[in-house]
Amino acid sequence: MVDLLRFATAGSVDDGKSTLIGRLLYDSKSVFQDQLESVERTSADRGDDYTNLALLTDGLRAEREQGITIDVAYRYFSTPVRSFIVADTPGHVQYTRNMVTGASTADLALVLVDARKGVIEQTRRHAALSGLLRVPHVVLAVNKMDLVGFDQSVFDAIVKDFADLADEVGLTDVTAIPMAALPGDNVVHRSAAMPWYDGPALLEHLEQVHVERDHGETRPARFPVQYVIRPMSTERPDYRGYAGTVASGTLRVGDHVLVLPSGRRTTVAGIDTADGELQQAVARQAVTVRLAHELDVSRGDLLAAADAPPQTLSVLEATVCWMADTPLRPGAPVLVKHTTRTVKASVSALHDRLDVTTLARGPVDELGLNDIGRVSLRTASPLAVDPYAEDRTTGAFLIVDAVTGTTLGAGMID
């Protein structure tokens, strides 16, 4: 499999997220010549006295006009070592839901801090969301070091402030890198302007950070069934396979598995791919699984390790980030989309709302746009779930409008 790192950027407006990503793309030679020429022309038209690499990522017209990122924008680039998917999330407070979207599948969160401003309220918000979403790795990117004279004492003070914050919100793996994205110091190449820093440049760290263990290969196997394959061909008249992506753990031929929510037991008879049969498949691998027994298995079912199954619940206690303009209130009928299964549900209780800046929880009558709070949901049929803290795939779900199909919120099972 291609070694892939997903990371999300977070920072206040004007902290330099777009410039940083543009610099990463440019210095890693991931920009086509016509793109660069377009950026050079636009920079000149805007009166910039330099090539504004932020324009490589500010692709939408409205974003360009305002000079900010509005929606989550995904960028892709590769080096000889690794491929990357970057979720460029907006910096404004009102776009909290966008950061949740971008960071929910990230292996790493890149939290930018302006060296002149230090740790501010938005930094606390982004650190708290990274902790809440259980992002395994965090890079504290102290940007604009050129504007503070590349002063080590400024960097050290910010690192200390952030370390206290990281402890508070439960971030366990934080790497701090001083940089200046505009001239490119410590972004792709190590900077001679900061000889006191002996750590890696940002791209070096992104290439080296170990994420395999975070994909859950050592956890109990979980395989949401996405599609039932029955070719009905003369060559394979009896073939029945279950296609999907291994959510976590390792699935091996001969493993005993449970089919949930029915609870029937069987063993894995074979694992197929377009390139041939496998003896095992690991997390994030898309495969087709054959089972030893003829069981009623359909889309939405979950194959799980028989010796360590998930809980099968009809009442979910969860933390929800509300993403809709219409508030969430008790009694609201919704759909819950969990892995490949979608069921009817209703909100049975709202317990509290979290202030992601102070981490204080308080009573609540409703959750408004961008609010985060603890809720109880009753589903019409049971779901096989894990706590989000143990599994970010089987522990997460979406709340969907039953009429329009619009995503209303994102949930993490307690």
Q: What is the pLDDT of residues 309-351, one digit of tens each?
A: 999 999 999 999 898 889 999 988 999 999 999 999 999 999 9
Give the number of other Cβ atoms within 10 Å of residue 315's Cβ: 12
Confidence (pTM): 0.81
Please state, in angstroms and rounded to a whole number, the distance separating the CA atoms of residues 68 and 258.
48
Helix residue ranges, H only, 104-150? 121-132
Per-residue pLDDT at 58 exceeds 70:
no
Q: The tokens 């979406």 sit on which residue? A: 398
Least confident of 71-85, 139-153, 246-260: 71-85
Q: The tokens 């054959």 sit on which residue? A: 290
Per-residue pLDDT at 216 exceeds 70:
no
Please state, in angstroms and rounded to a whole number, the distance separating the CA atoms of residues 354 and 129.
11
What is the mean predicted confidence (pLDDT) over 60-64? 49
As a whole number, the mean pLDDT across the chain is 87
Q: The tokens 């932020």 sit on which residue? A: 54
pLDDT value, residue 298: 93
